[in-house]
Structure 1
Amino acid sequence: MNTKIYLYLGGACIMAIAAVGCVFELAFGNPKFGTIATVLIFLVSSPATVYLFWTAVKEGRMAQ
């Protein structure tokens, strides 16, 4: 199987963890890296999660 698919899935997992962490940081007090940085991380990681997961699924279907 193509290792590129695993990299996409791994990246999607890391981005999803970052997005969920940002939600918790923003919801429950002062974010560790500040509000602006946390919002920026969330705004980047959320669409990146969807894109990387979708690309991994698309690549996996083409590899079959």
Structure 2
Amino acid sequence: MTPKSGLFLAGSCIAAIAAIGSIFELTSKTPQLGTAPTGIILALSIPLTVLLFLAAVRDARANQ
């Protein structure tokens, strides 16, 4: 693993944690940031998780 792919993987993990946290906040019926901002965070973090993970895999494979 290269440092670049490690950063991509770390970003993917953080985005996944944000997505899971947003899901829990929205299901609690009283999100701390409000429904709209929490929904926006969820909507952005899911594709970001996938994109960063794929970027990490591509970079790791390219540098083997």
Q: Is the structural similarity TM-score above 0.5?
A: yes
Shift, 1:28, TM fit: 1.6
Quote the residue 2:7 is aligned against: 7
Secondary structure at the counterpart of residue 31 of structure 1: coil
Determine the C-alpha separation between the residues in 2 that align with 1:34 and 1:42.
Answer: 12
Question: Structure 1 residue runs of 4+, over 4 Å off?
Answer: none
Instruction: Please say if 1:18 is aligned against 2:15.
Output: no
Secondary structure at the counterpart of residue 29 of structure 1: coil
CA deviations on 1:3-53 (whole Å, 9 max, x unpaired) are 111100000000000000000100122101000000000011010000000
Secondary structure at the counterpart of residue 12 of structure 1: helix
* TM-score normalised by structure 2 residue count: 0.95
Cα RMSD for the two superposed structures: 0.8
1:21 counterpart letter in structure 2:
G
Shift, 1:2, TM fit: 2.1
Q: Which runs of 5+ in 1 are unaligned?
A: none
Q: How does 1:13-52 map to 2 (within 5 A)?
A: 13-52=13-52
* TM-score normalised by structure 1 residue count: 0.95
Percent identity between the two aligned chains? 47
